Amino acid sequence: MTVDGAPLVIAVDGGGSKTDAVALELDGTVVAEARDSTSSPHVIGMHQSAELVSRLIGRLLDRTGERPIAAANLYLSGLDLPSEIDAFRTAIAGTPWAGATIDNDLFALLRAGTGEPDAVAVVCGTGINCVGVRSDGRVIRYPSLGTISGDWGGGWHLGERALWYAARAVDGRGAPTVLAEAVPAAFGLTGVQDVIEALHFGRLPNSDLARLAPTVFACAREGDAIAGALVDEQAEEIATLAVTTLRRLDLLDRTVPVVLGGGVISGRDERLLSGIARLLDERAPAARMELVTAAPILGAALLALESAGAGLEAVDTARRTLEERPAAVVQ
């Protein structure tokens, strides 16, 4: 087979803020890359998500030329339930990548952080989610549908809570906090009431609350008690997800990697990370915390190569190239 006709491997990782796609040769060489906005069906809808991913793959093939696809692995935030995965598969029916492996983006994060068969991954970016796997095939996953499924955390929830405290500080129902000044400043507005009205009347999209996460961490570093409590609450939630998953997999007494990633984690806030480490030491002392510094497209690409039967040398080649891509930070 000529080089032009050699099969390609396609990998896609879609998070809450952006979607990355790569095409690789079977030897692990990256030959094309593309990026777009979020592909989460929870944000843009299932049909639009499938269209965005298909456009990205089309851009890859424009650069490589039409070639056989040896494997396509697509990992998207918002594919949390089996019915959502089925719906996405239906939406890409008829495309050359209709037979792709499709799953939640947590599996790409997990593979980016470890290749061990027993492992847990927690993503804390725009939202929060967790997955755990065990060598005997057991998998623990969560619906990750927000407060209706018992979830709290990530940039959006931190921003929502920061605004709540700021509003109550301003009208006298709550304790004073520097968030009352910092929250409107983050949006270039004068006061908390301006933020409230901008959100209420749609001048600010609700999703922009995630932009407040760095403000919360900055105020905590300045000594604000309420912002600090929010950071501690986030550490508690991340640790709770990890420890609960380890317990459900009967892995609490094993030396198991707990992979952490996502935009909030990538901010590398010392209070947050030390809080998570302390809680894991107390509740799952055998666990080993692993921070993913590379973009999760690394994990998606490694999984796609492995799906295509590529060898260790190809996987290592792809890792050396893609681990240089830093993970996004929620900002």
In the chain, what are the domains?
A: 3-105+296-322 (3.30.420.40), 115-292 (3.30.420.40)
- 22, 290, 300 from 71: Cα distances, Å: 12, 28, 11
At residue 104, the pLDDT reads: 95
Take residue 226 and report the two structure tokens written for it.
């309420």
Helices 225-248 and 270-283, packing angle to 10 deg: 40
Of residues 155, 112, 78, 77, the one with CA closest to residue 259: 112
The structure tokens 């302390």 sit at 278
Of residues 118, 170, 127, 165, the one with CA closest to residue 145: 127
CA–CA dist 246, 158 (Å, integer)? 25
At residue 329, the pLDDT reads: 58
Burial 164-193 (b: 16+ CB within 10 A, else e): ebbbbbbeeebeebbbbebbbebbebeebe
Question: Would you put residue 202 in left (φ > 0), alpha (ψ -120 to 50) or beta?
Answer: left
CA–CA dist 107, 139 (Å, integer)? 11
> What is the DSSP secondary structure assignment for residue 154, as one 8-state letter?
S
At residue 160, the pLDDT reads: 98
At residue 4, the pLDDT reads: 58
At residue 295, the pLDDT reads: 86
At residue 294, the pLDDT reads: 86
At residue 3, the pLDDT reads: 41
Query: What residues contact 314, with CB distance under 8 A and at least 6 apart?
Result: 26, 27, 28, 305
Query: How would you write the pLDDT of the chain (331 residues) with one tens digit per residue?
Result: 334 579 999 999 998 889 999 999 999 999 999 999 999 999 999 999 999 999 999 999 999 998 999 999 999 999 999 999 999 999 999 999 999 999 999 999 999 999 999 999 999 998 999 999 999 999 999 999 999 999 999 999 999 999 999 999 999 999 999 999 999 999 999 999 999 999 999 999 998 999 999 999 999 999 999 999 999 999 999 999 999 999 999 999 999 999 999 999 999 999 999 999 999 999 999 999 999 988 889 999 999 999 999 999 999 999 999 988 776 655 5
* Cα 143 from chain centroid (whole Å): 14
